[in-house]
Structure 1
């Protein structure tokens, strides 16, 4: 495994605990603001994000600035030893700006200008908005850049969306000219222009997809999504010019998101590109705990996948910038966290690499759309209710975990996630409209390692592969020549590579490879996929692997063998008794191809073989039952072990090495019982050898 030194990404050597604080909503209530300071101490909180939506309070009229209230907030937080994450307020404009400068308003895909209201409906290309944000951010940096409480900059909030105005159309054409070296023929070739007579004879003819879902020029769709990411990053970079100039030593973040119902990575922006522009990555996590469609353990596993993706983007600790201590107000059903879940879910974030537990929001709004969204301080203004006490308990726990700050999670296993490939696959008019499910498929391959407590990095194609023993690339539909060369080198140099159905079908322009599967993929896998069968939900087929039958659904690839070894066969249909799973030795490494979408039990058994073969094992072995997760962060000297019960019952565990409970101070070894939703946080010196020798837990 890789070894990491501590990385103090925020320059704070303590766990951050606090959240979004909106004193601008309470400026006419000094008694409320005074209560906040006292409640912050009682809640064991230490850090607050301020100013995220405060533009109208900071600049109520154009050129008229009101910073006195923010001065007072800074000083009050400093008075209790707290820290401030200062936000730039570009996520929501004041009404006077929309009225005077309508170009700042976003235009939707149907070419309709949006009205003022809501948030995140500004044009990223607007020169006026770029200028106004820079003016505001310069004033903030000049005034607060040297304030002793300033810990970080929080740039805007949850970037997303797109604009189709004329300024954005012109910017898109300029982006395309640069990408294709001002050669319109190259663009037409990349977009397969003759299809439906979509060849362009002048750059001015090109427009963004409108509406996006009905445009059949897939190269255009793919480049538009790339442009949206790049233009969002460009807006971000414009925002931070005065901040980098005036406060070069203050780290910068912005809060990434996840799509919530199935908890998959946010789809609209390529975060692998955006992450490179941040000093610290943070994200807003709102899992639907206690839902009625999955077990608590299944949801925890998917939370772990997102955490491991966002941690891996920068290979350093991240921040949980927003979470709820109780419930949200925008799920279909807004269910409260049950007793014990707030501590457990918070510690899971820390276990996977977070150096913070932050909330949206500190105090519930009195009106508008978030007045019933969960908060630390409810409308009763009390420190005695259950939620407040849960928050205080998390704060007391975090105060004992300072040694964990800056530590990472080394991994020998990597799963590759690619935003562009997912965009192209979703656009592809083939396969099953509802069954592509690329992110969900990656989570299915992640499951076994999470259940076995084996750490995983969820990486992107720009990252280095060579440090891993095992690389898994499910459904990697879009694969460039450069990417194929990287995979080939990884295997040739001793790596083990797993690929699946619907992989390697198109290049970076979403054009298919002629002549069938790419010759280099055929070389390293020793076979080629010749046909993909798409199944109805009612269709049944099976794969026989190691004399056991596993259910297959959605997809089956017909495989032509060359030098590969067949490891499993289809049971039914016209491809019965033909290879469904293959292996192949290529130079110093080995490849596996899984031709069909198979059930979880297949993944458990298939990956267990690789776990044994490659000597993959947990950083620390603790014996436990299914539904308990053991995750480890490491410093050069210590293992920090989080043992978490994501089941509804008590669970026995067996600790085989002497450890110390960081919360209680107890020395522990042997059998222990975890209560429902209980978490234990343990420390073990790295010098002590683990008794783990591999193999399944009982």
Structure 2
């Protein structure tokens, strides 16, 4: 049954609302700092992330530490009822360190060392950087780990990037020895006989380089995995440097949609997951496609630990680094913030509290603008949301009852990008994953985003789009899942390579062939102007013909039944959609890239067959999604309108109360204005939850 998780901090069992706060930038203006406290309370903000890029303010000279300003701030927070996520400031180092110890600066793939500047321009392998980080972190922990204002550690900021220095090359070779054991095994796994690239000494191996080796796909994959492990190891180093002073203090690091890191590797290390979300709202009249995309990432980060997460950064208005810095329309701040809560967040936090006066983010959105007072539209939006969040205490700690999961592996994404075919103009792995997730999101179906190593039990439906890199053990797990009664959906370009990016022999989809009951002979990349069609067979449960674009696979049905066939080209009449019954379950295979009209109809049918329920037992209007949080006794249903137009949503006959007004809803339908959201409460029907 669904359960309520303990609050992220026992000091603070409420919905968190706050921002990145940089008082180190305003030490020359104490009147600004005093005003900030008044404005925080006025906005309903109860937590701030402090010290994120404060290394120079904390250690202006090597070995000289200045904590007086931070002492005053945290003591003032206690007096004002405000809490803090205290950051380790490793995201940017002071100039004195770069000048005295240039080894801390990163070396690019071109083997040129960077100059001082930017963020995350440091080497995770540098002994000096690790030493200096541990010293400062340790002093912060000694001084503040038991401070009553501090509720947790904000470890660094948006880890990312790689370094190709000599330290990292040595660590890469060490890592390869641990992974492969012998050069013979490495050469076999990397297929180095191609182009006569076999290695005869470990010292011959370097990281991929634009002016050197970059075409051995297993080599590229190994480097990306190594970079993840090196980043995780540095994060572990930081946590260990603060943990001893108060082992009960939770630690998080704010993640972002960075493609080069497998964030699942952080899950066991961190006590709570947090991430930073910056959508480009209002790029279209209807924001629902973008909302579904954001919902995917909320689901992904929630699924890393399968419990509530934190929205650590968002903007209350605009960014200054996107192609167009567009203002949030009325209602969008509330809607987009509550979307995070609907998908499992126990916080809404911003970058930033007060706009910087200079440098690269001086025009980035903030709660307090350069004008410096509360009489702005954005401040009013934040204060209004603060009141709403203050009334959602009963939602804090509730789970998301997902019976459906999307299988998304980071190394699969890396391997697909490297594949060199069948559409080098863009094979669209992420685009495909988003499309399948969007079809579920539009029906209000709660969906976890899991990896191949995760537990599949408890789900009724697993969707594995373009599972190109499929290990033998993953194939066996999915086979057992279907045999036990689960429903699997897979697509073209699955089961092609193993964990070393070596093609499976004996016919694609490799380890999935028995489960799916098909053999994939060829795959064709279509030009953008090309089209094919997929016509549904009688008795398939779907009717009509649907348009296929970009990728069409030519398959043979072995044990699978054919539900749809191609309509055009030399493969007209061949299978395009199949279903295979295995044990107590079934497995579907889409041989072609089909679009939203098909995916919507298909997942409506498949979800119903699998016994998967949406948040509301009613058809949702276009552009509206509904998501549920539950503690097993009460469900909290968030009904959200991203359509850009007013919508009427039919309810399903159950008894609902409005969480914000506590009024019983007697009507059979509710009206949502543009960017409208309602939070409804009912008795729980959640069943199992993750």
TM-score (norm 2): 0.96
The residue that corresponds to 2:75 in the other structure is 75
Question: How many residues get paired?
Answer: 679
For the Cα contact (< 8 Å) 1:500–1:595, is it kept in 2?
Answer: yes
Tell which deviates more after alignment, 466-475 or 673-682: 673-682
The residue that corresponds to 1:662 in the other structure is 659
Q: What displacement does 1:457 show?
A: 0.9
Q: What displacement does 1:467 show?
A: 1.0
For the Cα contact (< 8 Å) 1:361–1:375, is it kept in 2?
Answer: yes
Within 1, Cα distance between the matches of 2:155 and 2:543? 56
Within 2, Cα distance between the matches of 1:5 and 1:385? 37
For the Cα contact (< 8 Å) 2:443–2:620, is it kept in 1?
Answer: no
For the Cα contact (< 8 Å) 1:4–1:410, is it kept in 2?
Answer: no
CA separation of 1:622 and 1:68: change in aligned 2, threshold 3 A:
farther
Within 2, Cα distance between the matches of 1:549 and 1:363? 54
2:675 to 674, 677, 684: 677
The residue that corresponds to 2:95 in the other structure is 95
The residue that corresponds to 2:346 in the other structure is 355
Q: What displacement does 1:561 show?
A: 1.9
2:501 to 487, 507, 510: 510
Within 2, Cα distance between the matches of 1:344 and 1:243? 37
The residue that corresponds to 1:197 in the other structure is 196
2:440 to 420, 431, 449: 449
Partner SS state of residue 606, structure 2: helix
2:639 to 633, 643, 648: 643
Within 1, Cα distance between the matches of 2:500 and 2:134? 35
For the Cα contact (< 8 Å) 1:212–1:221, is it kept in 2?
Answer: no
CA separation of 1:120 and 1:81: change in aligned 2, threshold 3 A:
same
Within 1, Cα distance between the matches of 2:71 and 2:510? 64
Within 1, Cα distance between the matches of 2:602 and 2:363? 46
Instruction: Provide Cα deviations, 1:285-325, integer angstroms capped at 9, x if missing partner.
Output: 00001114x72111111111111111011100010000000
Q: What displacement does 1:621 show?
A: 3.4
The residue that corresponds to 2:162 in the other structure is 162
Instruction: Provide Cα deviations, 1:62-82, integer angstroms capped at 9, x if missing partner.
Output: 000000000001011111111
Q: Does 2:497 correspond to 1:499?
A: no
For the Cα contact (< 8 Å) 1:10–1:280, is it kept in 2?
Answer: no
Partner SS state of residue 139, structure 2: helix
Partner SS state of residue 97, structure 1: helix
2:293 to 295, 302, 322: 302
Within 1, Cα distance between the matches of 2:3 and 2:162? 38
For the Cα contact (< 8 Å) 2:615–2:637, is it kept in 1?
Answer: no
For the Cα contact (< 8 Å) 1:454–1:618, is it kept in 2?
Answer: yes
The residue that corresponds to 2:53 in the other structure is 53
1:279 to 271, 281, 302: 271
For the Cα contact (< 8 Å) 1:7–1:317, is it kept in 2?
Answer: no
Within 2, Cα distance between the matches of 1:623 and 1:7? 34
For the Cα contact (< 8 Å) 2:486–2:610, is it kept in 1?
Answer: no
For the Cα contact (< 8 Å) 1:376–1:387, is it kept in 2?
Answer: yes
Please list, as runs of the form range in 1=range in 2, the aligned pairs for 1:597-636 lying within 5 A after superposition: 597-621=593-617, 624-636=620-632
Partner SS state of residue 219, structure 1: helix
The residue that corresponds to 1:556 in the other structure is 552
Partner SS state of residue 276, structure 1: coil
Q: What displacement does 1:430 show?
A: 1.3
Partner SS state of residue 483, structure 1: helix
Partner SS state of residue 317, structure 2: coil
Partner SS state of residue 244, structure 2: helix
Q: Which runs of 5+ in 2 are unaligned?
A: 537-541
Within 2, Cα distance between the matches of 1:623 and 1:606? 15
Instruction: Provide Cα deviations, 1:230-258, integer angstroms capped at 9, x if missing partner.
Output: 00011111111121211210000001102
The residue that corresponds to 2:539 in the other structure is none
2:332 to 337, 341, 350: 341
Partner SS state of residue 657, structure 1: coil
> What is the RMSD of the two structures over their aligned residues, measured on CA atoms?
1.5
Within 1, Cα distance between the matches of 2:212 and 2:436? 29
Partner SS state of residue 72, structure 1: helix
Tell which deviates more after alignment, 388-397 or 621-630: 621-630
The residue that corresponds to 1:694 in the other structure is none
Q: What displacement does 1:687 show?
A: 7.5
The residue that corresponds to 1:398 in the other structure is 389
Q: Does 2:515 correspond to 1:524?
A: yes
Q: What displacement does 1:517 show?
A: 2.3
Partner SS state of residue 314, structure 1: coil
1:484 to 446, 466, 475: 475
